[in-house]
Amino acid sequence: MIKWHRDDGVVVGTLEPERVAWLRSRLAEFHALLDWRLSQYTTDYPLGEVLGIALPTEQTDHPPLQAVLRMHVPDSEPAEVRLWWEPELIGGLRAAVADAWRNLPTEGGVVRLADDPQRLRAWTRVLLSLRIAYLATWVPEALSAPLPEDAPADQRRRYDRACWLRAVVDTLGEFTGLGASRG
């Protein structure tokens, strides 16, 4: 059960403590994944040297990152444009992941978020991105279609966790009036 309310300028969410612990672990993994990708950026190519900007030199072949990038940067854009946008996207997500992680309790299930539209949107964006990365890692077939009813129990459990992430975002969006974006 996910419940949200306001308390003196703070949006307070009540979640199951075991789900919050699970979410903390997944956010830490997601942060490490984003750090790993940022570590691949370089200025060792002509445009990077001229601009002094570290950029990826090629598209990632890592399925969770591909799925997250596809969610935020349209495939219709040329590869060079996607590579140019990627550092800003990954860096912004990384900062938002760290902020979301800090807002999760180490024990219990009460989440406190500043009632600030920009921070709430960032939190929503992080959870949607995490959901996409999680699905791409653990239940990739669910990215294109709902999971079949006869899916194995372990696959169903992973899919249910991804659905729970979506429910957190949807209920927060409904409560704040900010709504959810894609994902």
In a domain, 95, yes or no: yes
Instruction: Find out whether 72 and 89 touch, Cβ atoms under 8 Å.
Output: yes
The whole-number pLDDT of residue 111 equals: 95
**Sequence-separated contacts (24+) of 152-159 with Cβ below 8 Å:** 158/134, 159/135
The whole-number pLDDT of residue 180 equals: 60
d(CA 120, CA 6): 13
Which residues of the chain fall short of a pLDDT of 50?
181-182
Name the β-bridge partners of 42.
55
**Residue 182: CA atoms inside 13 Å, Cβ hemisphere, count?**
10
In a domain, 130, yes or no: yes
Domain that holds residue 148: 3-174
How does pLDDT run across 30-55, given as a tens digit for each residue? 999 999 999 999 988 777 788 888 88
pTM: 0.90
In a domain, 74, yes or no: yes
In a domain, 182, yes or no: no
The whole-number pLDDT of residue 19 equals: 95
In a domain, 183, yes or no: no
The whole-number pLDDT of residue 89 equals: 94
In a domain, 147, yes or no: yes
Q: What angle do CA 147, 89, 110 make, to 5 degrees?
A: 65
The whole-number pLDDT of residue 107 equals: 93
The domain total for the chain is 1
